[in-house]
């Protein structure tokens, strides 16, 4: 037997340049140097189970035409061999939080081998590929989903190249092109508003995701997972009555004595860790079968899955109860998480909370019983912003002070001067009291677009207020022409922000958001998708300080047009969008249960306008089969994105 621990000294690849520019895909290793370069030391584990070497690629094909690959062979079939044999290695450069998946090229020579990986960092977890290996003596790409498995950073990386039982002593596997992928096309899910730590136990006798200990003379009632009455149990008991909701509740029964101690931890089913960075409160319910002075209640603190320290400071549960407990009455407890974080400012692992600990407080030498139920973390309740008024009325019935306009002959634009009517060099938009959609007045845009000339007019809000549009979906307003008007005569438009480089969005045609030519003396609703506005120039990022909307010359038809405009509102839903446009990178349309994508084969994902994924799968020869309802969808491919509308 050979002891396979070898030291590697050649550092051929660093990530510093990549990380300085943000998250980019990382090629951890392609082995083309003939060495393993992502670590200083590969620890084969167990050390006498695998023969490891960088070798010539035994099967060059389209999936993997490279020259060098990493070979893993089993030594023999001794009973000591284990299916998880492989390696662990401390990475030269830690993989930071934020990456979405790991892709590995994998080749097996027998039909049973499978590849499993293990990531160790803030979260430590073994991961199977999204789809198991299915080919023999052919390369295939194995995909490991970091996001789904809640993996954050990676400090130590492990692989089990022949993860299978019973073990095949002739197994040979090959690994190549280990890539860490950041997928820009993924839409982050919305932050949750609630997270459930405990609502029900899977067993009515004990809660498996708990742990407890005691030191005499203090006492604590504990259960053993193997059966009732067994010694050395460490689980919290569970009862079916009383309960606040659901099937059962936790039972905390203790006696705190001088010189003794006890503690009990409540975690989530699956020992899941919680990211509480957006949470505000821990809410749960407590119940005593007899009157209980709140001073007898235990201390509490949180524990994280990692961090130094990995425990918060300790607080008194009594401080979160208004009065002594009344017998046989459920009492709501609301703990501000800011208090928990402030209890020890050196604690920073708010995104890895594993559970809550209760422990001995007042040594009153009296046995107490407390039932606990419905532990829920809640985000701060902020009223949802569904709409923001941009303009409804001007403070003056002659001009709108928060406007600006300019013109160059031979084009014309009717303008007003703020000091008085008829003065030259005015730059304000006129206001009329008839027609109006609602309120006291409306804006008047009267222009003639001529070849060689230009005009533009900006509308801002009263007070020149800036608007944070990061949560808004649509700009909605109304337009009115006193005569029939071809929609092609409508102006271009764009948004302007208070700051940013650029501070203006790309330009779009207002005509693309109107279904038909305008009928005389009729108010027409316009709904502009802000997603289209942002896509018009992807370098524009100042969505949170938008100041106004510009209209400018479009069709040089040399005809005077008049357009009244009223009730500009930003809304958080996309309802009512008509004829949306997008700056497409690909071209697609929907027909008879198929999305047709010109000259494309590859993965396709389809999202609705709320960012929810509604379909995913491969497209072959430009066809992706999917049944969609009426609506507007974003089609995401490896070559870019586009939008389709189903009427």
Q: 90, 156 in Cβ contact below 8 A?
A: yes
- Output b/e per residue, 400-434; b: 16+ Cβ within 10 A: bbbbbbebeeebbbbbbeeeeeeeeebbbbbbbee
Q: Quick one: three-class SS letters along 471-486?
A: CCCEEEEEEEECCCEC
Q: Which pLDDT value is given to residue 306? A: 82
Residue found under tokens 């799968």: 617
**φ/ψ (deg, to 5) at 160:** -120, 95
Residue 227 three-state SS: coil
Q: 176, 17 in Cβ contact below 8 A?
A: no
CB-CB neighbours of 634 under 10 Å: 20
Q: 254, 360 in Cβ contact below 8 A?
A: yes
pLDDT along the chain (647 residues), means of 10: 30 31 80 95 87 95 95 72 89 91 96 95 91 95 92 94 87 96 78 91 96 97 94 96 96 98 95 91 98 97 92 97 96 96 95 96 97 94 71 93 96 95 92 94 97 96 87 93 96 93 94 94 95 93 93 96 96 52 56 78 75 77 82 76 74
Relative to beta strand 588-591, strand 522-529 is unpaired
Among the listed residues 41, 31, 46, the one whose alpha carbon sits nearest the alpha carbon of residue 90: 41
Q: Quick one: three-class SS letters along 508-527?
A: EEHHHHCCCCECCCEEEEEE
Rounded to whole angstroms, how far apart are CA atoms 342 and 41?
41
Q: 545, 461 in Cβ contact below 8 A?
A: no
Summarize pLDDT for 181-240 with one digit per residue, the tens.
Answer: 998 777 667 778 899 999 999 999 999 999 999 999 999 999 999 999 899 999 999 999
Q: Which residues contact 184 (CB under 8 A, 6 or more apart)?
A: none
Tokens standing for 70?
A: 């990493």
DSSP 379-420: E-------EEEEES--SSSSEESSEEEEEETTSEE--B-TT-
Residue 271 three-state SS: helix
Residue found under tokens 């038909």: 516
CB-CB neighbours of 509 under 10 Å: 16
Rounded to whole angstroms, how far apart are CA atoms 242 and 569?
51
Task: List residues bridging with 637 in a β-sheet.
Answer: 604, 640
Residue found under tokens 């010694």: 231
Q: 302, 314 in Cβ contact below 8 A?
A: no
Question: Which helix H or strand E contains 339, and what residues bound it?
Answer: helix 337-342
C-alpha torsion angle, residues 497, 405, 399, 524 (rounded to 10): -70
Residue 571 three-state SS: strand
Summarize pLDDT for 244-302 with one digit per residue, the tens.
Answer: 999 999 999 999 999 999 999 999 988 888 999 989 999 999 999 999 999 999 999 99
Angle, CA 509 vertex, CA 508 and CA 515 arms, to 5°: 130
Dmax (CA) for the chain in angstroms is: 101
């Amino acid at each position: 037997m050979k002891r396979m621990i070898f030291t590697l000294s050649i550092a051929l690849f660093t990530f510093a340049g990549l990380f300085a520019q943000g998250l980019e895909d990382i090629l951890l290793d392609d082995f083309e140097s003939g060495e393993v370069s992502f670590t200083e030391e590969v620890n084969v584990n167990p050390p006498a189970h695998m023969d490891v070497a960088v070798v010539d690629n035994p099967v060059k094909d389209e999936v993997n035409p490279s020259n060098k690959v990493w070979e893993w062979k089993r030594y023999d079939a001794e009973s000591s061999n284990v299916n998880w044999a492989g390696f662990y290695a401390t990475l030269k450069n830690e993989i930071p939080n934020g990456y979405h998946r790991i892709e590995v090229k994998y080749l097996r020579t027998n039909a049973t081998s499978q590849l499993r990986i293990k990531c160790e960092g803030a979260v430590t977890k073994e991961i199977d590929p999204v789809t198991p290996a299915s080919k023999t003596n052919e390369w295939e790409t194995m995909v490991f989903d970091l996001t789904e498995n809640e993996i954050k950073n990676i400090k130590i990386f492990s692989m089990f190249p022949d993860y299978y039982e019973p073990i095949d002593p002739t197994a040979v596997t090959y690994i190549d092109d280990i890539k860490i992928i950041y997928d820009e096309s993924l839409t982050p899910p919305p932050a949750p508003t609630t997270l459930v730590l405990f609502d029900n136990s899977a067993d009515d006798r004990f809660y498996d995701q708990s742990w407890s200990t005691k030191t005499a003379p203090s006492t604590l009632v504990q259960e053993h997972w193997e059966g009732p009455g067994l010694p050395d149990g460490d689980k919290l008991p569970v009862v079916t009555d009383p309960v606040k909701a659901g099937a059962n509740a936790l039972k905390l029964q203790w006696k705190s004595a001088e010189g003794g101690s006890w503690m009990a931890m409540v975690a989530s089913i699956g020992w899941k860790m919680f990211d509480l960075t957006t949470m505000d409160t821990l809410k749960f319910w407590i119940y005593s079968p007899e009157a209980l002075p709140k001073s007898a209640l235990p201390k509490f603190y949180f524990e994280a899955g990692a961090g130094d320290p990995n425990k918060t400071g300790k607080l008194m549960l009594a401080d979160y109860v208004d009065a002594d407990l009344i017998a046989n009455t459920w009492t709501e407890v609301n703990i501000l998480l800011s208090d928990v974080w402030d209890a020890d400012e050196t604690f920073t692992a708010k995104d890895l909370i594993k559970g809550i600990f209760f422990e001995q407080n007042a040594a009153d030498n009296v046995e107490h019983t407390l039932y606990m139920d419905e532990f829920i973390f809640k985000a701060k309740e902020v009223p949802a912003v569904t709409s923001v008024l941009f303009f409804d009325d001007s403070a003056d019935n002659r001009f709108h002070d928060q406007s600006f306009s300019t013109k160059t002959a031979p084009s014309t634009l009717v303008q007003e001067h703020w000091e008085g009517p008829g003065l030259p060099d005015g730059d304000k938009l006129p206001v009329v009291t008839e027609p109006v959609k609602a309120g006291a007045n409306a804006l008047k845009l009267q222009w003639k677009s001529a070849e060689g000339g230009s005009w533009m007019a900006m509308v801002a809000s009263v007070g020149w207020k800036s608007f944070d549009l990061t949560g808004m979906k649509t700009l909605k307003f109304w337009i009115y022409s006193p005569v029939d008007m071809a929609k092609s005569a409508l102006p271009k438009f764009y948004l302007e922000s208070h700051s940013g480089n650029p501070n203006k969005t790309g330009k779009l045609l207002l005509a693309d958001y109107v279904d038909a030519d305008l009928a005389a003396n009729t108010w027409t609703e316009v709904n502009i998708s802000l997603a289209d506005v942002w896509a018009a120039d992807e370098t524009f990022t100042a969505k949170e300080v938008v100041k106004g909307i510009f209209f400018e010359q479009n069709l040089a038809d040399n005809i005077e047009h008049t357009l009244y405009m009223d009730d500009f509102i930003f809304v958080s839903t996309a309802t009512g969008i008509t004829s949306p446009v997008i700056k497409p990178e690909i071209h697609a349309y929907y027909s008879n249960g198929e999305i047709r994508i010109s000259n494309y084969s590859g993965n396709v994902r389809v999202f609705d306008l709320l960012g929810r994924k509604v379909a995913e799968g491969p497209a072959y020869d430009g066809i992706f089969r999917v049944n969609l309802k009426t609506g507007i969808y974003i089609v995401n491919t490896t070559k870019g994105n586009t939008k389709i509308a189903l009427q």
